[in-house]
Structure 1
């Protein structure tokens, strides 16, 4: 009960526009610097280099919330383009993750699509891959529609499917061959569209992982759950699924020891590395996911480092 209240509280805070605006002025305080790799492209590339040296590959995400005018969407697009160019120049092993709302989806669909096309063209020229992060259910259908439109010309784009949605298995049937990141889900969703029980979510998560792998599609398993990870390893061994067909993913700042252990076993481990001034919403969702993250943040706040 306490855990559920805590989760709902931080998810509520994540959508508070006043606090989000204030957070930009605070800087990376409240422990956020432990899970957000700085505010600039230069800072995030430096972090990625360090992770690459440990055998970890990465994907970077320029954070952004509540983009409600075209100028902000254009600025976000420009930063994504500059990030891809910086990745190419630095030679780091790293992809790019983006959110469609940050690129103008809530303003105008065509604006968002045009911004994605600019990003994907640069990604194509620099031989890179772009992942569209899945957001809440209100953007779900539009995201899948835009993905299908983009993939007609750009095979270097994929998205995310969240296991807590009832429709996840059905959607996967239409996404055969698409590189997907599979996750449990991090937003607060209605019982009308999503499982509310952890056991049901975990069961569906394993189901969709196996479903996508068995189609021969490249699959990113994004989870910090060691039980899930071990079950995936065993399933792949039993079904002769090569390690080149899948990867594990974890968030920057979490379970670094486990990340390196997985690499030592010959698996690909990709670290999701967020950066930018608009870190507040992302950080609140991380606190909502696990009560342990709250004490983690407080340690960072009061640390002398």
Structure 2
């Protein structure tokens, strides 16, 4: 049943019609647990609340289903407005984005122009931008763009996914750039031709790439709610004498809040990924696909 639900949520997350329907009901369906709101100022207030107990953030303006240059440029404008709002408010947050929201599927040149605009503005504010990794079909072009951007910008990082077979080699390839990486397990549905199908293999690969990137001396963001992975990371950095300012833990907004706070108390940097925007449905479905047990939470909210 869990596999059926996971496949269902992944399919719904890609549905334009389901996305349009969800907008009619709004975040009260249960998505408000995972999405900070629909406006920039709502997201800023969410960051401010986290900052009060020592957590930092990365904001992501959700932009699913971009199919025109106009939509892509609007998404880029929202990224720039978010960076401006962070600077004006004084909260501690950087920016995450998906390049498909900037028109990557329309034109690489369109996406690159927007990336340069965003990175220029982030540099003006002394801020940092994280490129989210999407499905396997976008992996190579995302890495190619990242490498090209790194020739001119040092305030940009990218994400690698442990469930892909290729990731160990990608870690090796990016080492010479001193890449700032967020390492995740991976949340997209992929075929066994490109990704490990079993959790135990994903976990082992995850541990391997964490070790590799930390040992290379590059800044590492370990993005996981898995306490076994977190404990593994803590033990590894302790054994190798790696300073706490060379890595951070990252978690999602609305998930494992007590664990986040405990890690802060232990002296670790914890960054919370905070999504916002009107196109929240695809993101919400991916969270349900990761943990179908959250469905009960959603049903309770629908019945209120």
Is the pair's TM-score, using the shorter chain for normalization, greater than 0.5?
yes
Deviation of 1:12 (Å): 1.0
Does 2:274 correspond to 1:298?
no
Please list, as runs of the form range in 1=range in 2, the aligned pairs for 1:196-215 lying within 5 A after superposition: 196-215=197-216
Please list, as runs of the form range in 1=range in 2, the aligned pairs for 1:1-305 lying within 5 A after superposition: 2-176=1-175, 177-303=178-304
CA contact (8 A) 1:34 1:300 kept: no
Q: Equivalents in 2 of 1:146, 1:53: separation in Å? A: 36
Q: Equivalents in 2 of 1:59, 1:147: separation in Å? A: 18
CA contact (8 A) 1:60 1:274 kept: yes
Per-residue CA distance 1:25-61 (angstroms, 9 max, x = gap): 3221320011100000011001100000011000000
| SS of aligned partner of 2:35 | coil
Q: Equivalents in 1 of 2:290, 2:173: separation in Å? A: 29
Per-residue CA distance 1:185-242 (angstroms, 9 max, x = gap): 0000010000010000011001100110000000000000011101110011001111
CA contact (8 A) 1:163 1:204 kept: yes
Deviation of 1:273 (Å): 0.3
Deviation of 1:298 (Å): 2.5
Per-residue CA distance 1:148-167 (angstroms, 9 max, x = gap): 11111111001100000000
Q: Equivalents in 1 of 2:303, 2:220: separation in Å? A: 39
List alignment gaps of at least 5 residues for structure 1.
Answer: none
Q: Equivalents in 2 of 1:24, 1:147: separation in Å? A: 33
List alignment gaps of at least 5 residues for structure 2.
Answer: none
Structure 1 runs (4+) deviating above 6 angstroms are none
Deviation of 1:296 (Å): 2.5
CA RMSD of aligned residues (A): 0.9
Q: Equivalents in 2 of 1:299, 1:248: separation in Å? A: 31
Q: Equivalents in 2 of 1:112, 1:24: separation in Å? A: 26
Deviation of 1:301 (Å): 3.1
Q: Equivalents in 2 of 1:277, 1:286: separation in Å? A: 16
Tell which deviates more after alignment, 97-106 or 19-28: 19-28
| SS of aligned partner of 2:287 | helix
CA contact (8 A) 1:40 1:276 kept: yes
Question: Residues 169 and 260 (structure 1 numbering): CA distance in 2 closer, same or farther, change over 3 Å?
Answer: same
Per-residue CA distance 1:79-116 (angstroms, 9 max, x = gap): 10000000001111100000000000011110000001
Q: How many residues align?
A: 302
CA contact (8 A) 1:23 1:278 kept: no
Q: Equivalents in 1 of 2:214, 2:294: separation in Å? A: 31
Deviation of 1:24 (Å): 2.4
Tell which deviates more after alignment, 293-302 or 63-72: 293-302
Deviation of 1:6 (Å): 1.5
| SS of aligned partner of 1:182 | strand
Deviation of 1:21 (Å): 1.9
Q: Equivalents in 1 of 2:300, 2:277: separation in Å? A: 22
Deviation of 1:64 (Å): 1.1
